[in-house]
Every structure is written in structure tokens, then in C-alpha cells.
A and B are shown apart, each in its own frame.
Chain A
Amino acid sequence: MVRLRRITQIVFLVFFIILFLKARYPYNNTLSSDLFLRFSPLIPIFDFIDNFSFSWLFWPAIVIIILTIFLGRFFCGWICPLGTVIDLSGKIIKSPSNTSSNKFDRLRYLKFAILIVAIILAFFSYNLWGYFDPLSIFNRVLTALIYPVGTLITENLLLYTSEISALEDPVYWLYDIFKEFIMPEKQAFVQQVFWITLLFVIILGLEKLSRRFWCRYLCPAGAWLGFLSQFRFYERIVGEVCPACDKCQVECKMNAIPEDDVAHTSKIECIECFNCGSLCPPKKSAITYRWRWKPYHTAVDVNRRQFITTSAASFITLGMLSIGLKDRKNKEKRIRPPGSLPEEDFLNTCIRCLQCVRICQSNGQCLQPDSIHDSVMELWAPVAHMREGYCEYTCNLCGLVCPTEAILTLSLKEKKKTPMGLAYFNKNLCLPFAQNVDCIVCEEHCPTPDKAIKFDLKDFILPDGSMKKVKYPYVVKELCIGCGICEYKCPVPGEPGIFVNTDNQRRLIKTDLA
């Protein structure tokens, strides 16, 4: 069983990574790349709170939830890719056994506290759970850290060794394979990578305190699945022959076996790794697993006082989130992907998985995880940075891979007509205005069939009295879709002579798309 579990864990991890790598142009996958993200058991709760209905979009999560009622937290032990990486990290940094990590057990309620806060806030339309969703965390780290760092090292290593003339041919052969399957696009650069990494490093580093620290004490998905598996029917049975050697108790990944009663299992904690069965002294084999139709019950360990404090804390958080300054200057810079829901809905539906950022990296590279400006809610939501990349006119991929439909799926035709914002000239910097020279690189790149940037040919009188004709560009509001290629290609160093803001943006709701 343990071997089967390990193989399953690796298979799901690899599956997740393949879906991640496949999230790129040309996106013609039979399996949509956001499929695994929709496994997250938390999604249906918050979807229900927001819309008072269940969406079939989240069928993978619903399957997990139903199975959990019978099987318990198998998702954590067998499927969750973050759990698998945590297991690997625990092996490397050598997690202590339960004899020393017992002392943290009073933190178990924390994961319920996080879940309760998330649910209470969701009722007031603030969805923060995405930050703590394990699948979202893992995808975020893949997008912002693991993939870009991996490609950066590989590409530079290959290009560096290709300069050794004896190795040139084999290295370029490898390079072509790398370019074909791993990184056909440009190297990705991501802002916020430090903070995204920090959260991940902390999660892995906590393994030094106890095995599966995150899963035991913090993960809200674990709390929800634990809550569901209080009565699970699949049980660990300890036979009469048990020598009470306590091996299973000491080595249990989740410390789910009580010290004083090895015959029982905390159904809320157990993730069904089956390690206990394999640790049981072979001659005895006291531990067996089987279905029982009259299962015993494990109570959720949150007491009344903890519940009240947690609720109070969520109302304070709610207040803090609501009274943050709503700075207009900042708001106009938060350009969202085309097809995004109206801003408030968007921030509440987005789970910060960065799947859109990932797929954008294979094209225009304009989407970046946002930083905090006025509100915590802005953190890691996708924001378009046109100076570092632009929205490719013939691309609609971000809408295709959003697991929660915070970015709606637009057809290419619809996308080409959905403005993300509007371009404005900064005439203090734009070269024709600042220096009276021709440039119009923005006009050249403007992708709309009837160009949204046009120019006026005007005379300019030089100091010696002679005349010179200069092309002065301007924006036609009705034509501009705010794709930002003008801002990206503007040759003015640093601050661009033309920039996009959220003016004229069109936000959509599902019913807009017939």
C-alpha cells in the first residue's frame, strides 16, 4: 500500500507539472491546464457562498469531497502536490518524530481557525482563501519561482557550454530540445517572486519542527477535508496481538494516533499514508485496514472559546480590509486581463494561482502577480505591466486557463474588441512632442486593423527659420483596446512616452457572453 501511495503521489505531481508546462501557446490541449486546480476541495464551498449554487465546472473537487466522506483525507496523502513536495522536503531536512513534535498539537485548531476566518470573510465578499489553497500555492510557486529559475539556469548553462567549440553541436542539439519542449518562449521574469517564495520556503522549512507541519496545523483544505472525514468508513483496526511498541504512534506523519490509545486514529488528521501498517513489526502485523459500516467518530478539536476568538478576529480583518484607502491614482493602474469580471468580483473570484500569468509568459508576458498598494486583496492578483510586456492581439489564452472563471473565456473575436484600458501620451516624454523628431514606433506596432494611434503631420520651425515636417501621434479612444504594445515598444528610456491606464476598460459578467 505504501509503495502504491508513493507512486500515486509522484504520478499526480508529474501530472500537475505536465499540465503546467502545457499551459502555453499553442494551447490545443485535450485536457485543460486548469483541471488540476479545480481539484481543490475548497473551491465548491466558496463558490456556493458567492453564488448560492454549485457549478459543474468544479466537478473534480466535488468528486474529492464525496469520496472524502467515506475515505477520509486521502487527498492530502495521495494527491496533493504540495503535500508530496512537503514529504520530499521532510526527507531531506529530516523531520523529527512525534516524540518531539507532540508539543505543537495544540496548534491543530489553527487550520480550522484559518478556514473559519476565510468562510466568514467570504460571506462579506472578501475571498482570501486562495492565498492558502495548497494547489494554488503550488501553482504559484511553479509559475513564479521553479519554472523561471529552472529555465534561466538551463538556458544559460547550455548557451555558455555551447561556446566551447568541441561541444557546440551536441549542446545545440540539447538546446533545441530544451527550446522545443521546456521553454519555447522567452525567459520569464516575475515580480513578487521573493514573497511568493518566502511563503513556500516557510511551508517546507516547518518540516524541521514536525512532519507535515503545514498539513497538520495550517492548511485550510486539510481542515475542510478533516471536517468531512469525522465519520469515515474506512478504518484502521488494531488487533489483539499489538505489542504496543508505539512505533506507529511515533512515526505517524500526522500524529493522528493518540499516545494513550494506539488502537484509535484521529479521523480528522489521518491522511491514509498507510505508513503505520508497514511499520508494524512484521511478525505481528497487528494493523489491518477495512470498511466498517458503524464507524466511530472523531470530534473536531475547536472549542467554543477558540471559535469566538476566531470569529472576532475575522471581523477585525473585515474592518481592516474595508477601510483601506481607495486611491484613484493607484486604481487606474490596476489593468486586469481581458474578460475579467468587474473589479470587486474579480478579486473575490481569483484564487491567485497565477495560471494566467504562466500562460501569458508564453506570449506577451504582460501579466504579473500584483503587489500590495492600498489593499491586501491586491496581492498576487494578475495585473498587466505593459512596460515589461504587452497583451498579444491574437492571444486569448488567459481566459481559457482560469480555474474559477475570474477571467471569462473570450473568443479571439470578442477579445480583440474588449478594451483592457486606454493609451495616453505623456507629451513631456514622447519624442515628437519633447524633441520635435519623428518616431511613431507606437503607431507602427498598433495592432487594430484601423490603427488606434494616428498622427498629424505638422510643420515645425527650426531655430534657423527653416521648416521641418514632424509626425505628431495621438490616440483614437474609440479604436484603442489598451493592449499596451505601444507602451512596451516605446523607445524612450525608462518611463514611457505613452502608457495605458484602466480608462475605457470593459469588464464582463458571464451573461454578457451569450
Chain B
Amino acid sequence: MERFISRGDHVVVKPNIGWARAPELAANTNPDLVAEVIRSCLKAGAKVVKVFDRTCNDPRRCYNLSGIEESATSAGAEVRQIRRNMFTPIKLPEGKLLKEWEIYKEYLEADKIINIPIAKHHSLSRVSLGAKNLMGVMGGNRGSLHTDFDQKLIDICSEILPTLTIIDAYRILVRNGPTGGNPADVKIQKSLIASDCIVTADYLAMDLFSLPLHQVGHIQEMLNRSLNKYDLSRFNYMQIDLGS
């Protein structure tokens, strides 16, 4: 973590807290992982760590039932609900369909962003990973992003790329995503995928769902726009077995 966080940084840790579901149902990021990431950020010298998400269900139920409010607060982060006056429009000069979108101010003002999505099935985007998780900092009418989803999502994402993406694949949701709710749809994978390049992380995580690239439009779109830091045909990644 010291590689990414400098002393005195304002850090935003962005988990997925989108749904009013218990951690076991794999609809939200694992609260223990969130806490661990916050602790290592603070250890690395971060001044403040903020945690928030623009939820889909009732915000307080999501923060509460996901277990993230509790675990993140006890790990030393500032956990707050989204404030409706804190979205600022940003320009999207590279945007193909969108030229402007509202983004949460605290996200924009942070020195470092740690994006910690949970790996989930998603009917429209096929998988919900790093890029999809960034929808939690977007304002406006997010429903309208769902037509020509891949283009619009990447239009916005390309302007707000995180410092580090850690994909929580301890439990992954393989069916009925992104809400889940059935324990039978949860697969225990016990993995984490981390990269300072969101495209690389998402690309690697696609393997968990055995999906070919051409079926996952938004990751394909990121590659088409060369948002990747590394050449995906020949890059190094380490597979570390942490035992059981």
C-alpha cells in the first residue's frame, strides 16, 4: 500500500454498498476487506479515509445490512451518506455520447482512490467489476446510462480512473446479479485481484465468470479506447497463493 499512498493523503475507498443485503449474499463488497484496506491506507500514512457509495436501495439499510458502515468506522474511516449538494458536473472531452456528467465532489477532491468492487454477475453489463463500481460516485439519472451502456459508462469512467482497483472475489455472485439474494448463487472463490490499472483488473476478473472479452462490452470498450496501462497480450501478473 505504501507504493500508492503517500503521507498525508486524503484517500477515498469506494466499495460496493449498493444493496440492502447481508455480506453472505455477495451483493456488496466484503466488509472485512473494506476494513483491511482502510487500515493499510492509514498505516501507509493516509490522513483521512472516506467511504461512501450512492446506493440503489434505501441508503441507511444498505450501509447497515452490508456491514460496511460498522467495519469501516471501526477501522478508522469516515463513513458518510451521500449529500445531495455534493455532486459537481465534470466535462468529458473524450466522451462519445456524453459530454458532461455529475460526479461526487469528495471523490474528485481525493488524492488517492482505492476502488474495491465485488465481482458479480450483471445481466446488462454481464459482469459488475471495477468500472461498474464507479457508478456509485455518479450523480444524475443513472437509469438513463443503461441504454448504450458500454459507451456511456466508459465515457464517464475514463475521466475518473482510480489509483488502485482491488476486486473482491472472496465470494462472487454468479447468477441473478447484481442484487442476488439467493445463497445458492454465491460461489466461494477466495481470491483478490489487484492492479493499479482498472482495465487489467477487470480483464483478469472476467476469467472468474469464464466470459470471453467480446461478450463484455464495457471492458472491450475500455481496451478500444486504450485506457489500459499494460499490454494485455503480454503483461506480468503475480499469482500469490495465500494458503487457506
Contacts and interface: CB of A to CB of B under 8 A. Distances in A.
A246 interface: no
B124 A440 contact: yes
B58 A449 contact: no
Contact of A491 (B81, B143, B176): B143
B143 A438 contact: no
Contacts of B122: 444
Nearest to A363: B58
Given A394-B65, A447-B179, A449-B180, A441 B58 contact: no
A481 interface: no
Interface in A443-470: 443-451, 455
Contact of A392 (B61, B181, B182): B61
Contacts of B60: 25-26, 184-185, 362
11 contacts: A26-B60, A162-B85, A392-B20, A438-B124, A438-B149, A443-B123, A444-B123, A444-B178, A447-B57, A447-B181, A471-B124
Interface string B195-223: 00000000000000000000000000000
Interface of B: 20-21, 56-58, 60-61, 64-65, 81, 83, 85, 122-124, 141, 143-144, 146-149, 176, 178-182, 185
Given A393-B20, A394-B20, A450-B176, A437 B123 contact: no
Contact of A450 (B56, B65, B182): B182
Interface in A351-367: 362-364
A431 B122 CA distance: 19
A179 interface: yes
Contacts of B20: 392-394
Contacts of B179: 444-447, 451
B146 A395 contact: no
Contact of A431 (B58, B65, B147): B147
A449 B177 CA distance: 9
Given A447-B179, A449-B182, A450-B176, A438 B61 contact: no
A471 B147 CA distance: 11
Contacts of A448: 181
Interface string A420-453: 0000000000010001011111011111111100
Given A451-B176, A491-B143, A392 B58 contact: yes
B57 A392 contact: yes
B143 A441 contact: yes
A424 to B, nearest CB: 19
A437 B179 CA distance: 22
Contacts of B123: 440, 443-444, 455, 471
B86 to A, nearest CB: 9
A146 interface: no
A179 to B, nearest CB: 7
Interface string A50-81: 00000000000000000000000000000000
Given A25-B61, A445-B179, A449-B180, A440 B146 contact: yes
**What is the predominant secondary structure among interface residues of chain B facing chain A?**
loop
A489 interface: yes
Contacts of A451: 176, 179
B180 A395 contact: no
A186 to B, nearest CB: 8
A204 interface: no
Contacts of A363: 58, 61
A187 to B, nearest CB: 9
Nearest to A416: B181
A496 to B, nearest CB: 10
A427 to B, nearest CB: 16
Nearest to A389: B58
A439 B124 CA distance: 7
A451 B123 CA distance: 11
A89 to B, nearest CB: 34
A450 B124 CA distance: 16
A25 B146 contact: no
Nearest to A184: B60
A490 interface: yes
A450 B181 CA distance: 8
List the 10 shortest-distance A-B pairs measured between CB atoms, nearest first.
A491-B143, A449-B182, A449-B181, A437-B147, A394-B20, A491-B144, A159-B85, A441-B143, A439-B146, A363-B58
A159, A364, A394 pick with most chain B CB within 10 angstroms: A394
Interface string A145-184: 0000000000000010010000000000000000100001
B56 A445 contact: yes
Nearest to A172: B83
Contacts of B143: 441, 489-491
A364 B124 contact: no
A491 B124 contact: no
A395 B182 contact: no
B147 A438 contact: yes
Given A444-B124, A455-B123, A491-B141, A437 B148 contact: yes
Contacts of A455: 123
Interface in A20-40: 25-26
Given A444-B124, A445-B179, A364 B58 contact: yes
Nearest to A432: B147
A451 B143 CA distance: 19
Contacts of A435: 147
B176 A449 contact: yes
A292 B203 CA distance: 89
A473 to B, nearest CB: 9
A159 B180 CA distance: 36
Nearest to B180: A449
A491 B124 CA distance: 14
Contacts of A179: 81
Nearest to A453: B123
